[in-house]
Structure 1
Amino acid sequence: MAGIALAPNQRVLITAGASGIGRAIADLLIENGARVHVCDISESFLADFRRAHPGHGTSICDVSDEAQVDQLFADVRDGLGGLDALINNAGIAGPTGGVDEIAPADWRRTIDICLVGQFLCTRLAVPMLKAAGEGAIVNMSSSAGRFGYAYRTPYSAAKWGVIGFTQSLAKELGPSNIRVNAILPGIITGPRMEGVIRDRAAQVGVPYETMEKEYLNRISLRRMTGPEDVAGMVLFLLSPLGRNISGQSLGVDGNVESL
């Protein structure tokens, strides 16, 4: 992306960084000179990342598992020697269903990955960012962190939680010159969103095409967002151009009007 430059050899950890939005972020940051470490739960995705980016670090990690997160940060310390930025990208769509239909285990799993995982990673990243003298944290929320989302209550609850986590961290870490922002992607192109639309269509009893059109009609620009659009916002926030942006919830969504 022309016109935006990172500090040389900026050290960045991206959770769930081997596919989807995370992979788009990793690709763009590496293209712009960052030293990147990614984690993922899929060894096949990590193997593909290593083929594309030899020399950058990878770890298997479920961010909801404290022991695995501890090992992830040991890998980061060994590979990068420190940290300048954390991208809390890991998350799952969670179940689709009425609140009386959702299993408690599915609720907890969604909260654990989408929200608790950000806490587990941030608590270990902050001492490394402080040691670097400055830093940036980007937490992935969602348009569902701005609007209520019927039949997706655990996901929406987690993503609203990310906003509170972000704004609290921005206040807490600002005096240490650490910037904290949330990105709120909207309807992102790819198989995960296709699955969400398919499940919602089944829930309310309409064809996939009808539900897809309904989703697009809720976006002012009437189009989905690509992972590369989210990656561009991350690049901006990590660059010197974002040096005074903190505590913000930044929609990258074509202006989602409702969910």
Structure 2
Amino acid sequence: MKLFERMRPRAGLRVLVTAGAAGIGAVIAEAFLEAGARVLVCDLDAEALGQFAARHPEAATTLADVADPAAVERLFAEVAARLGGLDVLVNNAGISGPTGPIDQLPVEEIRRTLDVDLLGQFLVVRLAAPLLRAGGEGAIVNLSSVAGRLGYGLRTPYAAAKWGVIGLTASLAKELGPEGIRVNAILPGVVRGARIERVIRDRAAAAGLSYEEMEAQYLKLVSLRRMVEPEDVAAMALFLCSPAGASISGQALSVCGNVETL
């Protein structure tokens, strides 16, 4: 196989992308579809899921809340029925969580952030692992964040969960590696899109600044002084699941333009 060809995932991969109906997840799902994969997308947002299905009728879609064990059980019944197995898991589901001083954060919002961003990855991997083993090899890509290596004041539930994803990834790589399953984490930085706009707006309000002032503060912390595009994150996911990524496992790979601090 020529080196350039090794950069492309093999056609026919069976891929699950959680929270794949919009944002980074949708771009990742679309990238795998373009590469010839069979893709199942789950999401909690029925409207976004319907829009994704309309754009990509070749993809399978289903509603699921990854923080709900029963919903994850139903999701994997769909994986078995519609994909017949699994080669790649993209653990993308996550929420921004609350913004504010630790002593002012509602307990229910802290718990929901940890449940979706960390527990959800555990619940999904728990049922994905047997399917990946059955295929003889496989790849897991967990979405963390640059907040998972730097910490993030006023966003402590989110940062704590994303640090947890790094620990989960390193541990799974050791546990599943002898069975040929590679496990890596991608740490996006300031990714252009509706989600970062909400985050900047909430943080600006907490700091008493305008949106424009807070956005400028964010970009000043990035060495490249620009946002990451969702396609940049999708490209990394494709690479990790391609033959070129066959020897990469247990890594936390930032796609962030070099965020220096948060």
Match of 1:95 in 2: 98
Q: Which residue of 1 aligns with 2:222?
A: 219
Query: For residues 136-188 of structure 1, what are the alpha-carbon distances to aligned partners after superposition, in whole Å with 9 as ceiling and x for unaligned?
Result: 00000001001111100000000000000000000000000000000000001
Q: Could you say which residue in structure 2 is the equivalent of 1:176?
A: 179
State the SS of the aligned residue for 1:100: helix
What is the correspondence of 1:4-43 to structure 2 with a 5 Å cutoff?
4-43=7-46
Q: What is the alpha-carbon distance in structure 2 between the residues aligned to residue 3 and residue 240 of structure 1?
A: 5
C-alpha separation between the residues in 1 aligned to 2:93 and 2:116? 7
Give the TM-score of the pair, scaled to structure 1.
0.98
| 2:140 match: secondary structure | strand
Q: Which amino acid aligns with 2:69?
A: E
How does 1:126-205 map onto structure 2 within 5 Å? 126-205=129-208
One of 119, 124, 127 as aligned partner of 1:121 = 124
CA contact (8 A) 2:23 2:194 kept: no
1:54 aligns with 2:57: yes
Superposition RMSD in Å: 1.2
Q: Over residues 78-120 of structure 1, what are the superposed CA-to-partner deviations in whole Å (9 max), with x where a residue is unaligned? A: 0000000100000000000100000111100000000000000
Cα distance in 1 for residues equivalent to 2:53 and 2:202: 33
What is the aligned residue count? 259
2: distance between equivalents of 1:31 and 1:8? 9
**What's the counterpart of residue 73 of structure 2?**
70
The residue number in structure 2 matching 1:245 is 248
Q: Distance in 1 between matches of 2:179 and 2:131?
A: 12
The residue type equivalent to 2:204 in the other structure is: A
The corresponding residue for 2:113 is 110
> How far apart are residue 3 of structure 1 and its match?
7.3
Give the Cα separation in 2 of the matches to 1:182 and 1:154: 19
Q: 1:256 aligns with which of 231, 255, 259?
A: 259
Identity, in percent, stands at 59
- Distance, in Å, in 1 between the alignment partners of 2:137 and 2:201 is 43
Does the alignment pair 1:228 with 2:206?
A: no
CA distance in 2, matches of 1:210, 1:6: 41
Identify unmatched segments of 5+ residues in structure 1.
Answer: none
Letter in 2 for 1:4: M
Whole-angstrom distance in 2 between the partners of 1:115 and 1:127: 20
Distance 2:131 2:201 in 1: 42
Q: Give the letter aligned to residue 227 of structure 1.
A: P
